[in-house]
Amino acid sequence: RVVAVIMVGGPTKGTRFRPLSLNVPKPLFPLAGQPMVQHPILACRIIPNLVQVYLIGFYEEREFALYVSAISNELRIPVRYLREDKPHGSAGGLYNFKDYIMEDDPSHIVLLNCDVCSSFPLPDMLEAHKRYGGLGTLLVIKVSAESANQFGELVADPVTNELLHYTEKPETFVSDRINCGVYIFTPEIFTAIQGVFTQRKDTANMRRMNSFEALQSATKALPVDYVRLDQDILSPLAGKKQLYTYETLDFWEQIKTPGISLKCSALYLAQYRYTSPHLLASGDGTKSATIIGDVFIHPSAKVHPTAKIGPNVSISANARIGAGVRLISCIILDDVEIKENAVVIHSIVGWKSSIGKWSRVQASFILFLLAFYWSLPFQEYKLTFHNCSTLFDAIELSEFPYKFEHASQAEGDYNAKLGITILGEAVAVEDEVVVVNSIVLPHKTLSVSFQDEIIL
């Protein structure tokens, strides 16, 4: 039997996700038309002998109640939200609900961070874990050496895959292999966490005996019941033949900011081609809009047949998309209205917002292309176009007709910030207004154009 646990954190986490996390807990923000947490839940569903999925967090119970009952019914697997009274850390939170998790007497526990976007190769990982025979197996991926320090960096034995060394977000480079926040454990993980509690209590008692040292360390010490999976468990157990790694060559991203959620939405939409093609809009029939690439349209959304949508667009419930509207690389949330001939590019449009006729909401255009297709360091490149008269034409050609030259050999200055535009809830963009590279907080009305601004 297998129990899956997804750590969803709480309102004091996910602050970099504002303004979008002001309305909805970050784990329920839609990527490719489905709540962020639903992608790992769907991945768990195909694990043989899965009996239960728990979401553990410190959000209010009511924020998850509707979601967990709906998804349990829909998928026919029990999904339950367990609320911590306060943050206990990624391992402390797990330990807090040991009795629930062990109720089903699982042989394995699949533990997932909620804020990662991945193909979650869980059945293969579970098989590998059984072969290794250790306490735990971590999903790892190779990233660029420059970005590795945002994650847990690790070294594994190339033959046995044993985890030899682990450092969380190190200041000096250790390795370009990183921890993906996806784990398989045996129930012995609880003994390992209990060991950290005991050690903490012993240290606290010893300090109490030495009052000067107690005074010095009181502010530094973590609460006894706060245990971090990475620093407190993975680091000390590395090199002890207890932890192993499973490397993925598929996609993986960490979802900390709204900007990255657009990229993750694109990755999940592309995955639907293989896993759930029925979720992708086809654009067949004379009455439907023109669809380009991967697009999700909620069945309750109304899209005018003269609109042109895609690639990488997801349109949520009850949105209304008017005549002649052009949408490229964007997330349109529930109850949004986009009026005639408006254009939205590389942007997220918040719940109940409206965009007026002939308005444009977009990132700066060239940066959008670089960000979306290649994630390139844009300052270093110059973009030139071939065989197409406009950028729109260019985007729609399947062969990507751009040529990059290194900036040192090229003219022109592309020194703007890498951008995205985000409209919070109930923002009204009036007719013929242009909003470029800006973040707009909820309930604002924009009657003039803005560029590179945060509108509070």
| Residues contributing to the site for ligand GDD (CB under 6 A) | 7-9, 13, 56-58, 84, 87-90, 93, 113-116, 151-152, 168, 178-181, 228, 230, 254
Task: Name the residue nearer to ligand GDD (CB basis): 11 or 78.
Answer: 11
Task: Name the residue nearer to ligand GDD (CB basis): 151 or 268.
Answer: 151
Q: How far is the CB of 139 from ligand GDD (least distance, A)?
A: 9
Longest dimension (CA), the chain: 81
Give the distance from CA 410 to its chain's centroid.
Answer: 35
Rounded CA gap, 156 and 188, in Å? 21
DSSP state of 433: -
Q: How far is the CB of 124 from ligand GDD (least distance, A)?
A: 19
Q: How far is the CB of 170 from ligand GDD (least distance, A)?
A: 10
∠ CA 154-156-162, nearest 5°, is 125
Rounded CA gap, 157 and 152, in Å? 17
Q: Which two tokens stand for residue 113?
A: 């961070």
Task: Name the residue nearer to ligand GDD (CB basis): 175 or 265.
Answer: 175
Q: How far is the CB of 181 from ligand GDD (least distance, A)?
A: 3
Rounded CA gap, 420 and 349, in Å? 11
Task: Name the residue nearer to ligand GDD (CB basis): 113 or 248.
Answer: 113
By DSSP bridging, strand 302-303 and strand 79-83 are unpaired
Q: How far is the CB of 190 from ligand GDD (least distance, A)?
A: 16
Task: Name the residue nearer to ligand GDD (CB basis): 228 or 444.
Answer: 228
CB environment 367-402: b (16+ within 10 A), e (fewer): bbbbbbeeeeebeebbbeeeeeeebeebbbeeeeeb
Task: Name the residue nearer to ligand GDD (CB basis): 15 or 300.
Answer: 15
Rounded CA gap, 59 and 149, in Å? 29
Cα separations (Å) of 222 from 7, 54, 92, 170, 225?
20, 26, 12, 20, 8
Task: Name the residue nearer to ligand GDD (CB basis): 178 or 363.
Answer: 178
Q: How far is the CB of 133 from ligand GDD (least distance, A)?
A: 23
CB 265 within 8 A of CB 330: no
